[in-house]
Structure 1
Amino acid sequence: MKFSAPLVPGRLVKRYKRFLADIVLVDGSEITCAVPNTGSMMGLTDPGSRVWLSVSDKPTRKYPHTLEIVEADGIMVGVNTGLPNKLAEEAIRAGMIADLASYEEFRREQKYGRNSRIDILLKDPARGLAYVEVKNVHMSRVAGLAEFPDTVTARGAKHLVELADMAAEGHRAIMVFLVQRGDCESLKLCRDLDPAYCAAFDRATAVGVEAFAIQCQISENEILPVKTIPVAE
């Protein structure tokens, strides 16, 4: 996925109220930007960190700038949780995730389960339905290891329950962890931060939910899904 326009560099002053951050741009001016991420962003909120922002020309936007990338330990990390569904679609169509590219029909944001929407629904006359849930991953506390989640996510656990229900009904159900950083060669569940989510993951995989992780390479110009990496329980 290429960014539609060049990103604007700056330095992080602080993140606050979850969805806002103050940034100093290279010309010394200070602006407030939107932060499209509900998680803790552990390890990505140090004052002075290099950041890159997209800019919207929509007149209705209160904050035209959006935080897209934060540099941590010399690594560019994508933090926009609005992008993983599109990146997962690119990975599927590129054949990175099992045989999902060969499904005949591809739909986004379809209603299912208990008043929820599945990120991606695949249909095939011969193989039936495949439900694909996508989660953004950006935390790494150990070199080479991505971890999810970075905070308690009751919503994420609910999604696993609903995927398990689909698997129990005989459909394929797939959990895709989209790792928006290029320095991680495997993904592990973060059992110390959210044991309830991890318990839901264990129950889901026990009834047939499949789990995949996709590593991305990040630059100022694009975020590119490049390969599947192992998911360790």
Structure 2
Amino acid sequence: MYKYPKLLRGKFIKRYKRFFADVLMDGEVVTAHNPNTGTMKCIIEEGRDVLLSVSDNPNRKLKYTLEGFLVEDKWVLTNTILMNTVARRGILDGEVAELQTVTALKSEYKYGDGRLDFYGEKGGRRFLAEVKNATLFDEKFCMFPDAVTERGRKHIGLLLEAMAEGYDPYMIYVCQVDRPFFRIASEIDNEYDKALNDAVGQGLNVITVMTDFDMENETVRLVRGGEFKANR
């Protein structure tokens, strides 16, 4: 379980230049950093409640960070960078069933010509894992990605290279909405869909989890996500 620092509530006004968001808070418009580089097409809507965290770092240009939106009476956590920390805490706390009893876990692990989110050891075997935050959805599915992701395809390639060298490879999708199923949004990035399907056929493990956010205590834990459905 991950504990947020103190969170503040406001009303979303607009997003611009990808990384900036204007928020109305206590009658004042403040500008927050938006760490999510995707389109956020299912989330962004003027007037929606949002959560902001506050930094006391005097060297930061923006004091506030956009953490999530209230959608369908559930907080959708949009800080993609923070989801790695949430996933790490969840793995160590045994919240991810497929990765329980982990005996070692390192973040931002350099492998080949890139980096993957985690290196770990479990049951005497080594594994590598990459985390993706999924905020796209319809009535039945939570989906990833919400924009073309060349970087995401590179991560799949790195996991396949690692598998050839004896690592167990995992792709962890953190779903932000409660849906019975998860799939790749092939209509947005067909190449990513093809790459993942090929990798799964070769032995890549797909894990889906969902965030369970407690607003009162400002904590988030991971629970089982929707069933992964490959596109045919």
TM-score > 0.5 by shorter chain: yes
Contact 1:184 1:215 in 2 (8 A): no
Deviates more, 1:216-225 or 1:34-43: 216-225
Taking the aligned partners of 1:30 and 1:94, their CA distance within structure 2 comes to: 38
> 1:184: Cα distance to partner?
2.2
> 1:197: Cα distance to partner?
0.5
Q: Does 1:187 align with 2:182?
A: yes
Contact 2:42 2:135 in 1 (8 A): no
Task: Tell me what 1:133 maps to.
Answer: 130
> 1:22: Cα distance to partner?
0.6
Task: Tell me what 1:199 maps to.
Answer: 194
Contact 1:179 1:213 in 2 (8 A): yes
Q: Does 1:162 align with 2:163?
A: no
SS in 2 for 1:68: strand
The amino acid of 1:131's aligned partner reads L
Taking the aligned partners of 1:10 and 1:96, their CA distance within structure 2 comes to: 30
Deviates more, 1:98-107 or 1:41-50: 98-107
Task: Tell me what 1:21 maps to.
Answer: 21
Task: Tell me what 1:215 maps to.
Answer: 210
> 1:96: Cα distance to partner?
4.1
- Matched pairs, number: 227
Taking the aligned partners of 2:144 and 2:60, their CA distance within structure 1 comes to: 31
Taking the aligned partners of 2:37 and 2:86, their CA distance within structure 1 comes to: 19
Aligned to 1:174, which of 157, 170, 182?
Answer: 170
Specify every segment of 5 or more residues in structure 2 that has no aligned partner in the other structure, as ranges: none
Task: Tell me what 1:117 maps to.
Answer: 115
Contact 1:71 1:77 in 2 (8 A): yes
Aligned to 1:148, which of 144, 163, 170?
Answer: 144
Taking the aligned partners of 1:146 and 1:48, their CA distance within structure 2 comes to: 23
The amino acid of 1:187's aligned partner reads F
Q: Note the alpha carbon deviations across 1:192-231, whole angstroms, 9 max, x for none.
A: 0000111110111111110011011124312221224311
> 1:99: Cα distance to partner?
4.6
Taking the aligned partners of 2:192 and 2:29, their CA distance within structure 1 comes to: 38
> 1:100: Cα distance to partner?
2.4
> 1:53: Cα distance to partner?
0.5
Task: Tell me what 1:226 maps to.
Answer: 223
Q: Note the alpha carbon deviations across 1:102-150, whole angstroms, 9 max, x for none.
A: 232211111102x2111110135x633201111111111x224210000
Residues 23 and 71 of structure 1: CA distance in aligned 2, closer, same or farther (over 3 Å) = same
Taking the aligned partners of 2:28 and 2:38, their CA distance within structure 1 comes to: 27
Taking the aligned partners of 1:83 and 1:95, their CA distance within structure 2 comes to: 18
Taking the aligned partners of 2:104 and 2:224, their CA distance within structure 1 comes to: 23
The amino acid of 1:8's aligned partner reads L
Task: Tell me what 2:39 maps to.
Answer: 40
Q: Report sequence identity in percent.
A: 33
Taking the aligned partners of 2:188 and 2:131, their CA distance within structure 1 comes to: 20
Taking the aligned partners of 2:32 and 2:102, their CA distance within structure 1 comes to: 39
Contact 2:19 2:37 in 1 (8 A): yes
Task: Tell me what 1:105 maps to.
Answer: 104
> 1:158: Cα distance to partner?
0.7
Task: Tell me what 2:11 maps to.
Answer: 11
Taking the aligned partners of 1:60 and 1:214, their CA distance within structure 2 comes to: 35
User: TM-score if structure 1 supplies the norm length?
Assistant: 0.91
Specify every segment of 5 or more residues in structure 1 that has no aligned partner in the other structure, as ranges: none
